[in-house]
Amino acid sequence: MTDDDRVFRALADPTRRHLLDRLFERDGRTLTELESELEMTRFGVMKHLRVLEEAGLVVTRRRGREKLHYLNPVPIRLIHDRWIDKYRERQVSALADLKSELEDTA
Amino acid sequence: MTTMTEQATQVYAVFIRATPEQVWDAITKPEFTTKYFHGTRIESTFEPGAPYLSIAGDGEQRLIEGEVLESDPPRVLKTTWRALFDPELAEETHSRVTWEIEPQDGGVTKLTVTHDQLEASPKTAASVAGGWEFVLSGLKTVLETGKPLSTEGM
């Protein structure tokens, strides 16, 4: 599985997207905090966090006895650069071509 | 990311197909930093207590200044950090940046940047959020392809 595969797979699940949104609002949360907002067992939340961590979307840091979870936006930036910028560029250039064509014939 | 509240601790990580030594060079040598760090040259002896400066590529203007707190090549670089490129940010107190380099299986190296001690520097915290992901994706591109990302947005 490539890095991109892992990121897309992690993002394909609504619970995992919800966890990322929670971290986006406030970063550096413990499992207990994240679990309190979900109708799910602790084990289930841990499993989802592990998938996010393997995809690099979540990075953990220890603070004393606590394990804090941080949202890592870099893989999403890489997906954006690889999959979104490229297609948008084509769209923009198509519009530019259309504009010049219309203006030429006017 | 204007909707995000300013985070006093920010963590960014990227997996790079390169050795820890190559990643260390990329963060400590100006010929690399000009290719991904907003065109800036890094300047430091990387000895504890030495200045850590980031200088605009085409001049002498200092954009970031700090002090080396810890340097353990090719594993850890820890510095203080103050942005000078904006007067509002320069008024805020120093924060701290830690670069951690960890070899992984399969010729991949994990680079983690932790920017913390931002509690008293909310404007700096808001400014660097979004900046680091751009820097790290650029660093990955430079090391893996030898070419900088397009300069658009830099």
Q: Is A77 on the interface with B (CB under 8 A)?
A: yes
Across the interface, do B133 and A24 touch by the CB < 8 Å criterion? no
Give the integer Cα–Cα distance in Å for B25 and B32.
8
Both A84 and A37 in one domain: the answer is no
Label residue B149 by pLDDT band (50, 70, 90): low
Q: Please tell me which residue, A88 or A21, carries the higher pLDDT value.
A: A21
The correct answer on CATH 3.40.50.150 for the domain covering B10-145 is: no
Both A64 and A39 in one domain: the answer is yes
Label residue B2 by pLDDT band (50, 70, 90): very low
Label residue B148 by pLDDT band (50, 70, 90): confident
Q: Provide the token pair at B123.
A: 């404007």
Question: Which pLDDT does position A4 carry in this prediction?
Answer: 87
Q: Is A86 on the interface with B (CB under 8 A)?
A: no
Give the integer Cα–Cα distance in Å for B83 and A4.
33
Across the interface, do A28 and B9 touch by the CB < 8 Å criterion? yes
Nearest beta carbon to residue A73 from set B5, B9, B133 = B133
Both A66 and A79 in one domain: the answer is no
Residues A51-82 have pLDDT tens digits of 999 999 999 999 899 999 999 999 998 888 88
Range of the domain at A63: 1-72
- In the predicted model, is pLDDT for residue B154 greater than 70? no
Percentage of the residues of chain B whose pLDDT score is greater than 90: 79
Helices (H), chain B: 20-28, 30-36, 87-90, 122-128, 131-145
- In the predicted model, is pLDDT for residue B101 greater than 90? yes
What are the b/e assignments for A60-92, b being 16+ CB within 10 Å? eeeeeeeebbbbbbbbbbbbebeeeeeeeeeee
Q: What is the pTM of this model?
A: 0.83
Domain ranges of chain B: 10-145
Q: Provide the token pair at A70.
A: 């941080």
Across the interface, do A72 and B140 touch by the CB < 8 Å criterion? no
Q: Which bin fits B2, alpha (ψ -120 to 50), beta or left (φ > 0)?
A: alpha
Both A12 and A57 in one domain: the answer is yes
- Helix axis angle for A14-25 and A42-54, nearest 10°, is 80
Nearest beta carbon to residue A74 from set B1, B9, B12 = B12
Both A61 and A78 in one domain: the answer is no
Which positions ≥6 away from A66 have C-beta within 8 Å? Answer: A30
Both A60 and A94 in one domain: the answer is no
Both A60 and A89 in one domain: the answer is no
Domains: count for chain A: 2
Both A26 and A54 in one domain: the answer is yes
Question: Which pLDDT does position A1 carry in this prediction?
Answer: 76
Percentage of the residues of chain A whose pLDDT score is greater than 90: 62
